[in-house]
Structure 1
Amino acid sequence: MKPLRRPARRALVVVHVAVSVSWLGLSLGLLALGVTAYGTADASLTEAAYRAMKVFSDWLLPPIALTTLVSGLLLALGTPWGLARHRWVWIKFWLTLATTAATLFALRPEIAHAAAVGVPDSSLVAAPAVSTSAYLFMTAISLLKPWGPTRRGRRLRESQHGRAPGRRTAAARGTGATVS
C-alpha cells in the first residue's frame, strides 16, 4: 500500500481514535448494564438491562468494531509503523481482530439470548470486563509503544540504512552496542 498523505493519515487517525474510544465506552456501558442485570433481584430491571444491551449490540457494536479494525489496519499499512514492523502494532492488530470476532460471533448472540430469556447471566459481566481490559491495554500500548521492532522490522530498518544486521559503528564498538 502506498504511504498515506498527511491529510488522509490525520483524518484516519481521528476516525481510529474516535471509534476506538467509542468501543471502550460502549464496553464500559455494557459492563454497567451486565452488572445491573446480574446483581439485581428485580426481574423487570434484569430484563430491561438486557434489552438495552441488545440495542447496543445490534446497532453500535458491529460498525464500531469493524471500523476500529479497518481504520487500524489502514493506518498500519499506510504509515511507516507498518503492520508487522513493531511488536506493539502486531499485538494490537491481533487483539483487535480477536475482540472483533468475539464481539460479533460470541457476545452478540449471548446478549440476544439473555434479552429473550431475561435470566441473570454472569458471562455478560465477564465478557465486557475482559473486553474493557483488552481495550485499556491496547490504549496503553498505543501510547507507550513498548517492545521495539519485530525481527522483520529490524531487517527492514537495516536494509533501509544500508547496514549489515548487527554491524557496529565506531562509536558503538567501545560500548559493545549494536546499531539497529
Structure 2
Amino acid sequence: MASRLGRRTRRVLVFVHVVVSLGWMGAGAANVVLAATALTSPLGLAHACYVLIDRIDLWLVIPGAFGALGTGIALGLLTPWGLARHWWVLVKLVLTVGVILFSTLAVGVWVLESIEATAAGMAHPGPLAAPLVWGGATNLVAFLLMTWASVAKPWGTTPWTRRPTRRRTGATASVPAVS
C-alpha cells in the first residue's frame, strides 16, 4: 500500500511526532523529580514543587500529550502503518490514551489537591505525595514502552489487517498442475 503522504511531508510529520513525544516524556520525568522532591522536602518547598508540576502540566505535558496523540493518529491514518494493522501501533495508541486519562483523572487531581493542602499548611507529606511519585513513574514506564515499541516494532500484525486479495485467473484456477 502506498503512503498517502509525500516522503518529505511524512518525514516532517514523524519529526514533529518524535519531538512532541519526547517533550511529553521529558516533562513527565521532570514532574516525577519534582514530586519526589516535594515528598522529601519542607512544606514551603513542597508547595512550590506542586505549583511547578501544575505549570509544567499546563505548558508542556498537556500540549505534548495531545500533540503526540494527534501526530500519531495522523501518521497512522496517512501511512501504511495504519491505526489497527500492527500491534505496536495499536499498543502505542492505547497507552497514549490511557496515560492521558490517568494523568487527567488521577495525577492532575492529586496535584491540585496537594497544592491546596500545602497552601493551607496541612500536615506534610500529605496522603497524595507518594501516589504522585508512583503515578508519574507509571507514566514514565508507559513512555519507555511506547518508545521501545516505536523502535522494535514487535508483535506482528493484528487480526484486523487487510490481507491483499489474490487475483485468480480462469486459466490457472481451473487447470490442474501437470507433473
TM-score range, shorter chain: 0.7 to 0.9
Q: Which of structure 1's runs of 4+ aligned residues deviate more than 3 A? A: none
Identity of aligned residues (%): 36
Match of 2:150 in 1: 142
Tell me which residue corresponds to 1:168.
none
CA-to-aligned-CA distance 1:67-110 (integer Å, 9 cap, x gap): 11010000011100111110111111111111112223332222
Q: Tell me the equivalent position of 2:33.
A: 32
Please tell me whether Structure 1 or Structure 2 has the larger radius of gyration of its CA atoms: 2
- The TM-score, its normalising length taken from structure 1, stands at 0.82
Flag structure 2 segments of 5+ consecutive residues without an equivalent.
119-123, 169-179
What is the match of residue 23 of structure 1?
24
Confirm whether residue 108 of structure 1 aligns to residue 108 of structure 2.
Answer: yes
Partner SS, residue 146 of structure 1? coil
Matches of 1:148 and 1:18 in 2, distance apart? 26
Match of 2:31, SS state, is helix
The range that moved more, 123-132 or 107-116, is: 107-116
Asked whether the 8 Å contact 1:3–1:79 carries over to 2, the reply is: yes
Q: TM-score, normalised by structure 2?
A: 0.82
The 5 Å alignment of 1:65-84 reads: 65-84=65-84
Root mean square deviation of aligned Cα? 1.7
1:140-169 deviations in Å (ceiling 9; x for gaps): 01100001111122xx2342xx279xxxxx
The 1:163/1:30 distance shift into structure 2, 3 A limit, reads: farther
C-alpha contact (below 8 Å) 2:23/2:60 kept by paired residues? no
Residue 68 of structure 2 aligns with an amino acid whose one-letter code is T
Residues in 1 aligned to 2:105 and 2:66: alpha-carbon distance in whole angstroms: 13
The structure-2 alpha-carbon separation of the partners of 1:163 and 1:49, relative to structure 1 and needing over 3 Å to count, comes to farther
- Contact (CA 8 Å) 2:38, 2:50: kept in 1 or not? yes
